[in-house]
């Protein structure tokens, strides 16, 4: 049963990944970029977490801590799909302002509506929800540790983005003071 739910989740991940990369063609050209060295380590932490979640290092798979029954399995499939829907909603809402890096686009402005009224980084929120669901389906300590690394990497990258945006966009500091970073309704300080 666990394997069936993991296959469904992997299918959702494959559809999301392909569609996300195709959509990358639809964006503005950046006018200012933060140096990649400022967030290269964060990207490595995200990738390592992703590999642990998806059993990219099979020697570290470890014991399985719980069974996956239909209720848990379908709940995690729903969480995966919900995470992707949130990420897509945020990306569509940004339109041509979206970037995979830390960049300022032409005509960039602070976006405070749609999913950006709930959290400042809804794409990260959606992806973290989707990897959490995958880790729960896998049920291994390494997969859960992968979620921690994945989340930490995105939280650190978000901090780099925020420092950059505060320097580039007027009004970002006020937006940051009003809206939580990644977890809706929960503030962990500024």
Tell me how far the alpha carbon of residue 28 is from its chain's centroid: 21
In Å, the largest CA–CA distance within the chain is: 51
Q: Is residue 70, in this structure, part of any structural domain at all?
A: yes
Q: Is residue 183, in this structure, part of any structural domain at all?
A: no
Q: Is residue 187, in this structure, part of any structural domain at all?
A: no
CATH number of the domain bearing residue 32: 1.20.120.1630
Total structural domains in the chain?
Answer: 1
Note the pLDDT of residue 140.
92
**How is residue 181 annotated by DSSP?**
S
Q: Is residue 185, in this structure, part of any structural domain at all?
A: no
CA-CA distance, 134 to 100, in Å (whole number)? 22
Q: What is the pLDDT of residues 113-148, one digit of tens each?
A: 999 999 999 999 999 999 999 999 999 999 999 999
Query: Per-residue confidence at 29, pLDDT binned at 50, 70, 90?
Result: confident
Domain membership of residue 131 as a residue range: 2-178
Q: Which residue has the tokens 């505060």?
A: 166
CA-CA distance, 125 to 84, in Å (whole number)? 9
Note the pLDDT of residue 60.
67
Q: What is the pLDDT of residues 70-92, one digit of tens each?
A: 999 999 999 999 999 999 999 99
| Percentage of the chain lying above the pLDDT 70 cut | 94
């Amino acid at each position: 049963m666990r394997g069936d739910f993991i296959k469904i989740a992997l299918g959702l991940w494959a559809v999301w990944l392909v569609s996300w990369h195709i959509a990358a063609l639809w964006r503005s050209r950046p006018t200012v970029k933060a140096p990649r060295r400022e967030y290269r380590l964060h990207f490595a932490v995200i990738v390592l977490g992703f590999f642990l979640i998806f059993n990219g290092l099979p020697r570290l798979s470890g014991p399985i801590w719980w069974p996956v029954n239909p209720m848990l399995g379908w709940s995690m499939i729903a969480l995966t799909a919900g995470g992707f829907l949130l990420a897509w909603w945020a990306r569509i809402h940004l339109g041509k302002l979206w970037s995979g890096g830390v960049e300022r686009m032409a005509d960039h402005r602070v976006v405070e509506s749609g999913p950006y009224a709930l959290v400042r980084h809804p794409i990260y929120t959606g992806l973290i929800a989707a990897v959490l669901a995958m880790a729960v389906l896998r049920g291994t300590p390494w997969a859960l540790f992968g979620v921690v690394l994945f989340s930490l990497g995105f939280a650190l990258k978000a901090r780099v983005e925020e420092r950059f945006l505060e320097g580039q966009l007027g009004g970002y500091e006020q937006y940051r003071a009003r809206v939580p970073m990644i977890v809706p309704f929960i503030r962990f300080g500024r």
